[in-house]
Structure 1
Amino acid sequence: MVGANVSEARLVDIESIEGVPPKFKIGKYALSVRRFDRAPGGGRIHAVDFAQMPAPSPIRSTFGGTRIPS
């Protein structure tokens, strides 16, 4: 492990979850993830969801914005 903190997660039987509409009952299990963006008192903890970040420019590399040779 590299020392990254990760959220507690487990697979649960989807039938054991109340209120799941039938159209979302795909398969037997669902991934249950404990909230990680709340402090013990209920305050918010800033978190970045990398799926929401804008896509990088295709002409830039991940190394400081250097141009990728064509």
Structure 2
Amino acid sequence: MTNLELYTSTPADLDGDLASLRGDCARMAPHWAAPDRIVALPVSPSLIHGVTVPEGSARVLEAMSEYRD
């Protein structure tokens, strides 16, 4: 059995309607750290060497007809 310990001044809505979800998100937003701006640096082509696929994964893909045909 799950023991839900909730510390809130409003009753918990375990059915989760949209208004409840939006309220939860608004309360949590200050706790989520996000950078002001994401700067992607270019990667030198000499650092890109290709993709390595594990042998087991390659066998799975070979067995799937949409990849083999």
User: How does the TM-score come out when normalised to structure 2?
Assistant: 0.21
Larger Rg: 2
User: How does the TM-score come out when normalised to structure 1?
Assistant: 0.21
More helix by share: 2
More strand by share: 1
Instruction: Report which structure shows greater RCO (CA 8 Å, sep ≥6).
Output: 1
